[in-house]
Structure 1
């Protein structure tokens, strides 16, 4: 299995090829991509590659993604305790969602603590629902970065489902 640095290099190389292909497609007018869509895709892809790697289920150890969080990397230790390595956190749909949900939970806890400690502080308003033109590039960028990691690990899209299927069939 590749190391964290190799995973990052794979994702960077794939992003480079994808960006070059998208640029050619846009110039040939085969594809329309706005600057905002390109930025959203790129930011989500970078976040999925460097900050929200599937290997955060090893967060009690030395993991590149945890290190990229700096001092906040300690917040990922409970995530590593919740999920076994290459378990649900390495599934193709649920795994990326668990990391997003975990980030949302940490954010809510921090907001709650801030409201308790400093009740007079005004917090930013919740963002309005995003349009599909904004949401689709975010989702695609994030999930593509996650799936490249899983492919490099040799994790199939039906990861975790095969065991359940065998149990149902009596194998």
Structure 2
């Protein structure tokens, strides 16, 4: 098995890939080479992709499953880094948190649960603030959601590729377990 990149190398890989993706997107946009001629990248879409990509790279790395120790992503949360320790205890390194679809989703759900808990505490501790639950725009436009999801997932997938984890990793692992039981 080959060596796994350090957190710093993962970040450099993601930043290099981001530069290539950004350059390719600009070329495709300027030359109007998109498969769908009605599609056009807007600055807001590019900004949403960029923010999500950077958050996925620097704050929500798959290595947060190691957050009981010294992990760059946890350190970047500053004094709130302790919030990721339970996540690290819930998921074994390179387990479910390092899968292609569910892994990134676990970090988003975990973050959403923390945000909901904080919101609930603030709402009931200080009722005079008159806080209600925040509402998403209805319907949530795909031109907002798609670049955010794409930016976040691409950053996560680059990390997994650098770790040598293929998209069918979970399936192969499950098949091996089934074969061992026979």
TM-score after normalising by structure 2 = 0.89
What is the CA distance between 1:4 and its match in structure 2?
0.7
Alignment of 1:34-113 (within 5 A): 34-113=42-121
Aligned to 1:146: 156
Helix, strand or coil at the partner of 2:169: coil
Determine the C-alpha separation between the residues in 1 that align with 2:76 and 2:33: 37
Helix, strand or coil at the partner of 2:5: coil
* Residues 1:25 and 2:28 are matched in the alignment: yes
Correspondent of 1:137 among 134, 147, 160? 147
Structure 2: 5+ residue stretches without partners: 35-39
Say how many residue pairs are matched. 171
Determine the C-alpha separation between the residues in 1 that align with 2:173 and 2:32: 46
TM-score after normalising by structure 1 = 0.95
Moved over 6 A (4+): none
What is the CA distance between 1:115 and its match in structure 2?
1.6
Structure 1: 5+ residue stretches without partners: none
What is the CA distance between 1:30 and its match in structure 2?
1.7
Q: List per-residue Cα deviations over 1:21-57 (Å, max 9, x = no partner).
A: 1111111122420111101111110110011000000
* Residues 1:2 and 2:5 are matched in the alignment: yes
Q: CA RMSD in A?
A: 1.4
